[in-house]
Structure 1
Amino acid sequence: MTAQVEELGENRVRLTVNVSPHELEHAVEHASNDLAESVRIPGFRKGKVPMPVLVAKIGKDRIWAEAVDSHISGWFWNAAARTRLRPVAPPEFDFELPASESEPWSFSATVEVQPIPEIVDWTTLEVPRAEAKVPQELVDQELEALRQTVAELVPADDRPAREGDALVVDLVSPSGEAQSDTVVELGSGRLVEEIERELVGASAGDSKEIAYELAEGSSATVTVTVKHVNEKVLPEIDDELARAASEFDTLAELRADIEGRIRVALDEEIEAAYRAAAVDTLVRASKVQAAGPLVETRARELLDGFVRSLGRRGITPEQYFEATGQQPEVLVAQMRAEAAQSVARELALEAVAEKAAIEVSDDDVKALIREQAEASGDDPDEVIADIWSHGHHETLREDLRLKAALDRLAADVKPISVEQAEAREKLWTPDKENKETEKKLWTPGSKEPE
């Protein structure tokens, strides 16, 4: 499928889309199958009507109309993605029904689009970048966690249980359902808080009926019998610990490894934050603003995703608002603000891609699909063929193009220290009078939100 764009002025374009005979034949086949399911013809079961009989019954024009009507929107959006148009309103289609499946067919769509903004020279921008400093407290926490994994359990049945002890208990519900020899570390949070709290001070042989609250607000009881009390004896933090809990021979080597892994994680977070700050700085410096249908559509997507995430946790929107005290209109406003910033980022990166003449080849798209298919255990060639047949590769191409634009932007801007950025932020300038609140949003190459 190919397409041509004609500028009409006032941010309106006419997109002419050329549909190949293969795509047209595919659409007619789908339309025929759908119509065969709905049309009643004596002597034939639904879905089993031969094509000549179907044509004789309802006429070829109806089949063509159904084929075009059910596929024209997809053809339009695929062509819009290929030509990098960002429609902000529904398109107005203009076409005549095809005369044959064996000849190319075309239609036109007039639509209002979001123009690519004018952006500043990004190589002049300064962006704060933090330095990775590994707090020794984090290293100590990792070492403490390792101590816990190799701790020795020593019988302490001669004294009451205390925080940190490992108890062996039997749990019996009022219905008689039992869970025997359950190991509970007091303070670990493995059992509900009420049970762990009541077990502090219990001795071997004690039985307690303990009431606790369920998630939905009701209550239940369980009888807990303490069979054994064990005390955790932690090893010293020394070379012996390194040999027992890792592949290293010395504590110094173990500490260096832990610090290195923490530093890698911090570097990744810093890089993601720096890339986000780079595109946000470009958006502000270029005064890129997004509004209209693009923002409203993105806001609906964010809101729908939020509702789905609540549903996966068994929470309704009404329950969420009641529990948090947040007003629905406040949440909608937040989603709209996030959507506006997200679209503004994409517009700015699109402008970078245009100025830098960034292009993404079919091989680049296929390499991405192949990598993801292999990671998920799917056949790469089948996945590539399926994505190409539905035209979804153009969306992936645009994603890769924007990510490449962000790579270029992050490489070209000038990094400055966080201290420099904070010092400059304190200096008053007229544009800070009405500065809007910043939001941390997704950008190409950063981690996806939930």
Structure 2
Amino acid sequence: MQTQVTEAGPFERLLKIQLGEEELEAAKTVAANKLSKQLKVKGFRPGKVPRQIVERMVGADKLRSEAIDEALPEAVGNALEAEDLSPATRPAITAIEDIDGGGVEVDVVITLWPTVEAVPDFVGREVEVDIAPVTQEAIDEQIDRLRGQYATLEDVDRAAEEGDFVMIDLSAAVDGDVIEDAGATDLLYEVGSSSFVEGLDALLVGVSADETAQGPGVLPEGFGDRGGEEVELLATVKAVRSKNLPEVTDEWVQEVSEFETVDELVSMLRHNMNEMAKATARNDFQDRVMMDLAEDLSLDLPQSLIDTEAEASIHNLAHRLQEQGIGLENYLQITGQSQEDFIADSKTQAIRTLKTRVLLEGVAKVESIEVNDDEVLEAVSALASQAEMNPDELFRQLESDGRLDTLSDDILRRKALEAIMSGVVAIDEDGNTIDLEPAPADSDDDNDFDSDEAKLESDSDKEVEESPEE
């Protein structure tokens, strides 16, 4: 076997492999043996048909083609090892031609993982980011949500309005055939919540107790094979109940939380909402930084690498959707995307993902960032804790699967990202520096806030209470 390597483009190599007639003859014997297992020849057991008979039955060209397919994987593997090439994608065979002497010459394109020697400057780079202000209106909405958890329901003698609760019996039918799983009896439903069947809210507005309303509806997409199907809804309203919210007083705050006054509750909400806004801004800031640096990175990605990354992304999405009982075609319909636009967006995202990965690896190289054994062991211990496994057992499993290097690469890229984020500067639209760091975790006030927020979150699980009947 003879090999020759030439450059075919940025991070691509053209590997020419010549297989001699002797190598093909040996491959023909193996190929004939495999083909004989599929043939039924009188007087011979499957897999025991002589090569000459196999060749006569399938044809010389077919056997030669099968022999080339048989010989190529090992030949390509040996050539890659001899030339010290590590493909980032599956090697692509672009041409097979006969040569003098009865052998063949095969052209194989090898795509290598991209690397960079220089990265865009990031130390001192200013990137604009917005922190959404916490308004009094937003705080009031949070308080109203809390009030809603402690609201009571009271029967009213009027037509239902948005925000009311109604007790209904509901059925859905198609051409008069009732769909059993789409109905409900004694369903307490909040009008305007859009939480059940599309069309139900519009149907219930203006309907009073002991009245029946009928109209069109659409089953939700998650409703099995019938998701998205148009139906005829029939709702019988048994009762209309208004929601009475408690008055916001110091006494009410003391009853539903660990705070003493309304001002303390508002202060806690403002603090936590500011921290949430800051956390959102931090994530947005990181995304903008990486997008800016990736755009400034001088890098031509091989198309085969982009296609492979996009295909992997689409495959993973399809698998996740399948676990939820949703097909990819249904997903495209739900999201209003054409297949062409979806594939184009996937490739755009693939380019961004690949450039980000190469950028982080480039930063690690330029900044001499390394990963030591202790960091790998710490990461394994954290993974073991999440999986409720013994760390030593998980380490051995990752080592045997060859995944320790992948874990180490993940740690390296994380450290590179930390180096980038420590060097860039967040500014507002006026050019003023913004502090995006979270409030100190050891602050007494902050600990009180966290504790009380947890208390409120646990209280928020309560359902709306109904007023006792007189």
Work out whether the TM-score is over 0.5.
yes
Instruction: Quote the residue 1:126 is aligned against.
Output: 126
Instruction: Quote the residue 1:389 is aligned against.
Output: 400
TM-score by length of structure 2 reads 0.61
Instruction: Quote the residue 1:148 is aligned against.
Output: 148
Q: Residue 238 in 1 paired to residue 239 in 2? A: no
TM-score by length of structure 1 reads 0.64
Residue identity opposite 1:336 in structure 2: K
Q: Secondary structure at the match of 1:169?
A: strand
Equivalent residue in structure 1 for 2:207, among 178, 202, 209: 202
Over 3 Å counting, the alpha-carbon distance change for 1:347 and 1:117 in structure 2 is: farther
Question: How far, CA to CA, are the matches of 2:249 and 2:128 in structure 1?
Answer: 40
Over 3 Å counting, the alpha-carbon distance change for 1:310 and 1:91 in structure 2 is: closer
Over 3 Å counting, the alpha-carbon distance change for 1:196 and 1:121 in structure 2 is: closer
Q: What is the count of residue pairs matched by the alignment? A: 338
356-365 vs 122-131, greater mean Cα deviation: 122-131
Q: Residue 298 in 1 paired to residue 303 in 2? A: no
Instruction: Quote the residue 2:138 is aligned against.
Output: 138
Structure 2: give runs of 5+ residues left out of the alignment. Answer: 1-5, 14-36, 38-69, 94-109, 173-177, 221-226, 433-470
Question: How far, CA to CA, are the matches of 1:12 and 1:323 in structure 2?
Answer: 39
Over 3 Å counting, the alpha-carbon distance change for 1:148 and 1:310 in structure 2 is: same
Q: Secondary structure at the match of 1:123?
A: coil
Q: Secondary structure at the match of 2:240?
A: strand
Structure 1: give runs of 5+ residues left out of the alignment. Answer: 1-7, 14-37, 39-64, 93-109, 422-450
Question: How far, CA to CA, are the matches of 1:89 and 1:223 in structure 2?
Answer: 57
Q: Is the Cα–Cα contact under 8 Å of residues 88 and 292 in structure 1 kept in the other structure?
A: no
1:280 deviates by 2.9
Instruction: Quote the residue 1:307 is aligned against.
Output: 318
Q: Is the Cα–Cα contact under 8 Å of residues 126 and 425 in structure 2 kept in the other structure?
A: yes
Q: Is the Cα–Cα contact under 8 Å of residues 11 and 302 in structure 2 kept in the other structure?
A: no
User: Percent of counterpart pairs with the same letter?
Assistant: 26
Question: How far, CA to CA, are the matches of 1:251 and 1:258 in structure 2?
Answer: 11
Question: How far, CA to CA, are the matches of 1:129 and 1:322 in structure 2?
Answer: 34
The one-character-per-residue Cα deviations of 1:100-136 (angstroms, maximum 9, x if unpaired) are xxxxxxxxxx984423242244325322243463233
Instruction: Quote the residue 1:214 is aligned against.
Output: 219
The one-character-per-residue Cα deviations of 1:184-232 (angstroms, maximum 9, x if unpaired) are 2212223324333333333333344555333445444455333332221
Matches within 5 A, 1:43-442: 87=88, 90=91, 112-131=112-131, 133-156=133-156, 158-171=157-170, 174=178, 179-209=184-214, 211-215=216-220, 216-221=227-232, 223-312=234-323, 314-321=325-332, 326-420=337-431
Q: Is the Cα–Cα contact under 8 Å of residues 118 and 366 in structure 2 kept in the other structure?
A: no
Instruction: Quote the residue 1:47 is aligned against.
Output: none
Q: Secondary structure at the match of 1:418?
A: coil
Pick the structure with greater CA Rg: 2
Instruction: Quote the residue 1:426 is aligned against.
Output: none
Q: Is the Cα–Cα contact under 8 Å of residues 198 and 210 in structure 1 kept in the other structure?
A: yes
Cα RMSD for the two superposed structures: 3.9
Question: How far, CA to CA, are the matches of 2:388 and 2:430 in structure 1?
Answer: 46
376-385 vs 349-358, greater mean Cα deviation: 376-385
Q: Secondary structure at the match of 2:241?
A: strand
